[in-house]
C-alpha cells in the first residue's frame, strides 16, 4: 500500500498550512447547519445558525453535497501537505490512533450504546494518571500533582458534573441529536457558540500589564496574595516561592535566565520542596513522619513559603523585609542567593547537617487535633532565624540544655497553647508563638519551674478567660481525634536523644554518634553507636 505522505513544497510553513486547514474544516462544519437557509431578515438583524438533524445531515441536496466534496478535497490536500512538512506518515499515524482508541474504548463495552460510550469517555477523563495526550499540563508539572490538588480537582469535577454535566454527556447528545429536549438544545447551543472575549492592547508590556490589572480588579478581584506575586513576579522571593511550591516544575517564572542559572534554581527548589512538603499526609494521621511546611494547597503553602523565605534573608537587628523591597532579578543570581539562605535555615531545623536541631514536627508544629499549625511552624522558624541572624550561638546551647523539659511542656500543654494562639488575631500568631517559645526557654534556662500558669503569664494573658477543652457528645470518632490519639501514643514510644533527652525525628534528622569517641579508642561496632540530634553530636558533645 503506498504511503499517505505529503508534498514538501517550500511555499508554505506548518503554521499557515494549519490555519488554512482549520478554515477548510470550518467550511465543512458550516454545511451541517441551516446557515443561509433562513428567510431574509431586515438590516441589523441576526440569524442564529442551527444544527441540522441527523437525518437532514445524511440527505444533503446535490448542490450542497458537491460543495462538501470540494471542501473535503481542500481539507485533505492541506492535511497531506502539512504532514509532509512535518515528516509524518499519515497512514501509520492513523493506524496507531485506531489501535489506541480500541484500547481506550473497547468494542464490547462501547458498541451501539451511547450511555456506555459516555461513561467510558468520563472514565478516561477522570483518570489522573493518564499520560500527557489526555492531561497535557501534567508534563509541565513533572507528572507530579499533589493528592490535595487531585482532591480539589475531583471535587470541582463532581460539582460541574452535578450542576452542568460532563463533556461526555454533551458529546453524546450532539452525536445523537434527534431526540433532544428544548432544554438540552439550549445548553448545547450555549456551549458550542459561547466564546471568550479577547482584548488586544496597543502599546508596550507596561501598558499591557496595567490593562491586565485594571480588568482583573473589576468584577471578581484577584486574590490579594496572587496580585502581590504577579506585580512582583520578577523579584527573587516570588520566583523562589513559585519554584519551591512546584518543586522546580510548572510555569517557569525563571525561564528568562541562562540555562545554568535556571537549572540551579530548579534543583534548589526541588530539594526545599522535599524538605518542607514531603511526605504527603493522609487524615487521620498514622505516622510521625510529618510535613514541616503543612498543606500543599497552593494558597496556604505559598504564603508559608514567602514568610519562610523572608525570615531566612532577614538581617541582624532588622525587621522582617517585604517582597517589594527587593530589586528585580535580572540574571537569576539573586533568586539563587535567596534559595541558598532558605536552604540553610531549613538545614538548621531539620535534616542531617551538623547544625540541625532536628525539631520534631509533632511537638513544635502540630496542634492538639493533630493538624499542622502554620503559626506554630513559622513561629519556631522565626525564633531560630532570629538567633542565626544575630549570631547568637549561646541560645542553641541553652535550648539544648532545657530541651527535654521544654518538649514535655509543649506536649502536655498543646490545648492551652492552641487557645493562647486563638486569642490573638491571625497576623500576630506567628510572633506570639515565637515569644512564647523564647520565654519558656529563657525561664527554664534561668532554673525556674514552668507550668500552665507560667505559660499563660509568659503569653501575657493573665486574667483572660481561656475556654477549656470540651467533650463532644457525638459517638463518631473524628479524624482529628484519631490523629490526636495516634500522635500522643506514638510520641510515648519515640526514640530520644541520649545527649539532650529530646525527641528524635528519625525519619528526617538523626546522627550516628560514637558513644566512646574514636580519639579515645572507640570503634564503629553497633554497641558503640547511639542515635542523636546532629547538633547534639557535633556541637554539644564536641
Q: SS3 for 44-86, per residue? A: CCCCCCCECCHHHHHCCCHHHHHHHHHHHHHHHHHHHHHHHHC
For 179-319, where are the alpha helices, taking DSSP H only?
182-193, 205-216, 224-231, 236-245, 259-277, 298-313
Q: What are phi and psi of 247, to 5 degrees?
A: 55, 40
Q: Which of 290, 270, 272 is nearest to 281 (CA)?
A: 290
Rounded CA-CA distance 321/316 in Å is: 12
pLDDT at 130: 41
pLDDT at 230: 87
Torsion of CA 257, 258, 260, 261, to 10 degrees: -30
pLDDT at 437: 97
pLDDT band at 7 (very low <50, low <70, confident <90, very high): very low
The three cell numbers of residue 515 are: 558513644
Judged by DSSP in three states, 3 sits in coil
Mean pLDDT of 314-338: 93
Q: What are phi and psi of 282, to 5 degrees?
A: -100, 155
Q: Is the pLDDT of residue 428 over 80?
A: yes
Which residue did the predictor score with more confidence, 108 or 75? 75
Please give the C-alpha separations between residue 161 and each of 123, 148, 192, in angstroms, as whole numbers.
13, 20, 17
pTM: 0.67
| Residues with Cβ within 8 Å of residue 178, at least 6 apart in sequence | 53, 54, 55
Location of C-alpha cell 510521625: 288
pLDDT at 129: 41
Per the prediction, the chain carries an average pLDDT of 81
Lowest mean pLDDT among 62-66, 71-75, 117-121, 311-315: 117-121
Which residue did the predictor score with more confidence, 395 or 89? 395
What tens digit of pLDDT does each residue of 128-183 get?
A: 444 444 455 566 666 667 677 777 888 888 888 888 887 777 777 777 777 778 88
Which residue did the predictor score with more confidence, 56 or 220? 56
Q: Is the pLDDT of residue 384 over 90?
A: yes
pLDDT at 46: 46
Question: What HEC string does 273-298 produce?
Answer: HHHHHCCCCCCCCCCCCCCCCCCCCH
Location of C-alpha cell 523572608: 310
Q: What are phi and psi of 529, to 5 degrees?
A: -115, 135
pLDDT at 45: 44
Which residue did the predictor score with more confidence, 317 or 335? 335
Location of C-alpha cell 437532514: 56
Mean pLDDT of 87-109: 72
Please give the C-alpha separations between residue 327 and each of 187, 235, 404, 521, in angstroms, as whole numbers.
50, 6, 44, 55
What tens digit of pLDDT does each residue of 330-382 get?
A: 999 999 999 999 999 999 999 999 999 999 999 999 999 888 999 999 999 99
Rounded CA-CA distance 237/305 in Å is: 9
pLDDT at 261: 95
pLDDT at 88: 85
Location of C-alpha cell 515569644: 435
Q: Do residues 120 and 104 lie in contact, with contact meaning Cβ atoms separated by under 8 Å?
A: yes
Q: In percent, how much of the chain has pLDDT > 70?
A: 80
pLDDT band at 41 (very low <50, low <70, confident <90, very high): very low
Kind plus residue range of the DSSP H or E element containing 514 = strand 511-514
Strand partners, 509: 505
Strand partners, 345: none
Which residue did the predictor score with more confidence, 472 or 450? 450
pLDDT at 104: 65
What tens digit of pLDDT does each residue of 214-258 get?
A: 776 666 677 888 889 888 999 999 999 999 998 888 778 898 899
Amino acid at each position: 500500500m503506498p504511503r499517505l505522505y505529503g508534498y514538501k513544497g517550500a511555499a508554505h510553513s506548518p503554521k499557515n498550512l494549519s490555519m488554512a486547514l482549520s478554515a477548510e474544516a470550518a467550511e465543512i462544519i458550516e454545511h451541517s447547519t441551516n446557515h443561509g437557509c433562513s428567510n431574509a431578515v431586515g438590516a441589523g438583524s441576526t440569524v442564529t445558525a442551527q444544527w441540522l438533524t441527523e437525518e437532514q445531515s445524511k440527505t444533503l441536496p446535490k448542490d450542497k453535497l458537491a460543495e462538501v466534496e470540494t471542501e473535503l478535497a481542500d481539507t485533505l490536500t492541506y492535511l497531506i501537505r502539512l504532514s509532509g512538512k512535518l515528516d509524518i506518515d499519515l497512514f501509520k499515524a492513523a493506524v496507531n490512533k485506531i489501535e489506541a482508541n480500541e484500547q481506550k474504548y473497547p468494542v464490547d463495552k462501547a458498541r451501539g450504546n451511547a450511555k456506555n460510550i459516555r461513561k467510558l469517555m468520563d472514565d478516561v477523563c477522570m483518570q489522573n494518571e493518564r499520560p500527557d495526550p489526555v492531561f497535557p499540563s501534567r508534563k509541565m508539572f513533572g507528572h507530579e500533582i499533589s493528592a490535595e490538588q487531585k482532591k480539589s480537582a475531583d471535587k470541582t469535577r463532581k460539582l460541574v458534573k452535578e450542576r452542568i454535566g460532563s463533556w461526555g454527556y454533551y458529546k453524546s447528545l450532539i452525536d445523537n441529536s434527534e431526540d433532544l429536549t428544548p432544554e438540552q438544545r439550549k445548553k448545547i447551543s450555549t456551549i458550542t457558540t459561547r466564546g471568550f472575549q479577547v482584548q488586544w492592547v496597543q502599546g508596550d508590556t507596561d501598558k499591557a500589564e496595567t490593562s491586565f490589572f485594571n480588568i482583573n480588579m473589576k468584577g471578581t478581584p484577584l486574590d490579594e496574595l496572587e496580585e502581590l506575586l504577579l506585580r512582583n513576579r520578577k523579584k527573587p522571593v516570588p520566583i523562589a516561592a513559585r519554584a519551591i511550591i512546584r518543586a522546580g516544575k510548572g510555569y517557569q517564572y525563571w525561564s528568562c535566565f541562562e540555562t545554568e542559572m535556571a537549572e540551579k534554581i530548579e534543583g534548589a527548589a526541588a530539594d526545599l520542596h522535599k524538605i518542607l512538603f514531603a511526605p504527603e499526609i493522609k487524615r487521620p494521621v498514622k505516622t510521625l513522619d510529618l510535613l514541616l511546611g503543612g498543606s500543599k494547597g497552593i494558597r496556604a503553602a505559598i504564603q508559608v513559603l514567602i514568610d519562610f523565605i523572608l525570615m531566612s534573608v532577614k538581617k541582624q537587628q532588622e525587621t522582617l523585609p517585604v517582597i517589594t523591597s527587593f530589586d528585580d532579578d535580572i540574571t537569576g543570581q539573586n533568586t539563587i542567593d535567596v534559595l541558598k539562605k532558605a536552604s540553610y535555615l531549613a538545614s538548621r531545623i531539620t535534616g542531617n547537617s551538623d547544625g540541625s536541631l532536628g525539631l520534631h514536627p509533632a511537638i513544635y508544629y502540630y496542634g492538639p487535633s493533630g493538624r499542622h499549625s502554620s503559626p506554630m511552624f513559622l513561629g519556631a522558624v522565626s525564633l531560630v532565624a532570629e538567633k542565626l541572624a544575630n549570631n547568637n550561638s549561646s541560645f542553641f546551647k541553652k535550648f539544648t540544655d532545657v530541651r527535654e523539659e521544654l518538649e514535655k511542656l509543649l506536649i502536655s500543654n498543646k490545648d492551652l497553647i492552641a487557645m493562647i494562639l486563638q486569642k490573638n488575631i491571625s497576623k500576630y500568631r506567628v510572633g506570639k508563638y515565637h515569644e512564647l517559645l523564647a520565654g519558656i526557654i529563657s525561664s527554664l534556662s534561668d532554673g525556674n519551674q514552668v507550668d500552665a500558669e507560667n505559660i499563660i503569664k509568659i503569653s501575657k494573658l493573665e486574667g483572660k478567660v481561656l475556654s477549656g477543652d470540651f467533650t463532644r457528645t457525638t459517638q463518631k470518632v473524628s479524624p482529628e481525634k484519631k490523629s490526636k490519639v495516634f500522635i500522643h501514643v506514638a510520641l510515648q514510644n519515640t526514640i530520644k536523644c541520649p545527649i539532650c533527652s529530646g525527641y528524635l525525628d528519625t525519619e528526617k534528622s538523626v546522627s550516628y554518634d560514637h558513644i566512646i569517641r574514636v580519639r579515645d579508642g572507640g570503634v564503629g561496632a553497633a554497641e558503640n553507636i547511639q542515635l542523636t540530634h546532629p547538633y547534639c553530636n557535633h556541637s554539644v558533645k564536641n
